[in-house]
Each structure stands twice: as C-alpha cells, then as structure tokens.
Chain A
C-alpha cells in the first residue's frame, strides 16, 4: 500500500460520511447552532439529520442539549473538543493524502 492509500485509509470514518462531514464543517467555525439551522443549511430531512447527529454524539464528537425557546422546543448542537480535534485531524490527513 502506497503512502497516499495509507493516508486515505486513516481517515476518520465517522466524519468522512458526506452528510456528517457537512454537519461537522458547519459546526466547526461556531460555538453552537440549533437543529433548524442545520436542517436548512444541509438540506437533509429531519429523520436523516437526527440519525447523523446521534452517530456523531455516540462517537463523542457532538453535544446535544434539549432546551426551550419560549414554549417551543429547541435542540442545541455543539462540537466537543474531541470533535474539533477529529475534524482538524481529518482535514490534515485529507490534505496530506492529496498533496503527497
């Protein structure tokens, strides 16, 4: 296996999935966002978005907080330190793989 293939195989599979990569990218530059914002920006449907969020939470990359805005339920989403590190590492690995 050459170096490029090794680099690609080392990519974090949790983040590498396109929808989750989109979610993590969007959350990486901000402190937190709500479900509605991600729904609109990603173009995913509620069920699909929820399942990807659950997968990220399971990996310890995402913190999900259920709260209320007035009487309306609000789901706040925030990348954990581990999630941010994983995304930084993912970008580095990807860059290395394509620039070698």
Chain B
C-alpha cells in the first residue's frame, strides 16, 4: 500500500516528460550550441563570433526562445489534452534545468581539459560528455520504453564513433554535440508522436 501511495505521489513528476517536449527543447538547444561552435571555428580571426560576450548573449537569447517554444507547445498540446500541472519547490522544471546547468558547466570544463591534455585522441572527453548526457536522458525518461535503451546506446556510442572519423579537426566537438542534440530531438519527436497517438484531442468548451 505504501508503494502504491508513493507511486501516486511521484506520478506528477513523470508527467513532465510525457510528451517529449522537454527532450525536443534539449535537442534543439544542443544543436544550436553545436552550430555556434561550428560557426566559431569557421569564421575568420577577429570576427565578432570569437568574442565571449556576443556568443553568451546569443546563447541566452536562443535558450529563452527555446523555453518559450516549449511552453507554447505545452500550452497548445499537452495542457488541453491531458491536463495542467504546476510544480512546487525543487520539483519545478526550471530547478531541474538549473541543476543540469550546474552539472554541465564543470563537466564541459573537465571534458575541455581532457581534450587539451589527452595525447591520443578526442575520444575520451567525448565519451565522458556523452556518458553525462546519457545519464540526463535516463533520468528524464526513466527508461520506461524499450526503445529508450536503443537511444541511450546510440547516445553513448555515436559521438565516440564520430570522434574517430577523419573529420577535419577544425570543427572541434561540434559534430559530436550536434549528434547528441539530434538524438534528443529524435527521441523527443518519437515520444511526442506516441503521446499524440495515445491521447485524444480535447473536446473544445466541454464543461468540467
């Protein structure tokens, strides 16, 4: 009975990821970061994209647009179909995003340190980075469906395989980051498709 009660208490937390919109957001965000990294490595020296300030402003603006897009999708799709939930305290989604950012910053610094000091190849920092992403993915999806495991394996193995390809080094970790973003995007799209398939559209104006 206690287990069943705990299950009901935790159920609203699982609801946050029911539609895959969070994964879509992470995917788009990382693909954007990968595009910025690629841009930074391809534009000539002295370009505005080599300065820290414009890049940070661009990232913040992009993050805000992605968050706004996610909220709009939730308002238009999820809330009318399966209901609205407002979280409290540490279970609020933005707290999760803040914790992820706090974890991501030292991890990025660590992987960047490894990539500078790793004598053999770029595979080690990429493996560390993708393992971190895989943890975030496993936590967010709770690996509820069998296909989540396939995504997890692709997420870990894909970037490492890319880092071994003879791609021009000037692209840095952009291709690996882009691949990780793409994996989140595909997984989010599958989750959203399944959600739309399994839930009914709302009866407009139906009384409660």
Do residues A25 and B9 form an inter-chain contact, with CB atoms below 8 A? yes
Q: List 14 A-B contacts (CB under 8 A).
A: A26-B9, A29-B10, A29-B88, A32-B85, A32-B86, A33-B12, A35-B83, A36-B79, A39-B83, A69-B75, A71-B205, A73-B208, A91-B5, A94-B1
Do residues A34 and B84 form an inter-chain contact, with CB atoms below 8 A? yes
Q: B204 to chain A: which residues have CB within 8 Å?
A: 72
Is B106's CB within 8 Å of the partner chain A?
A: no
Interface residue ranges, A against B (CB under 8 Å):
21-22, 25-26, 28-41, 46, 69, 71-76, 91, 94-95
Do residues B91 and A35 form an inter-chain contact, with CB atoms below 8 A? no
- Per the CB 8 Å criterion, the residue count for chain B at the interface is 26
The answer, among B79, B80, B88, B208, for a CB contact under 8 Å with A30, is B88
Chain A binding surface, main DSSP class = helix
**Binary contact track B1-41/A, C-beta < 8 Å → 1, others 0:** 11001001111110100000000000000000000000000
CA A74 – CA B10 in complex, angstroms?
24
Given contacts A72-B205, A74-B208, A75-B208, contact A34 B8 (CB under 8 A): no
Given contacts A25-B5, A37-B82, A91-B5, contact A73 B207 (CB under 8 A): yes
Chain A, Cβ-Cβ closest to B91 = A29
Chain A, Cβ-Cβ closest to B78 = A37
CA A34 – CA B82 in complex, angstroms?
9
Q: A21 to chain B: which residues have CB within 8 Å?
A: 5
Do residues B84 and A74 form an inter-chain contact, with CB atoms below 8 A? yes
Chain B, Cβ-Cβ closest to A95 = B2
Q: A46 to chain B: which residues have CB within 8 Å?
A: 208
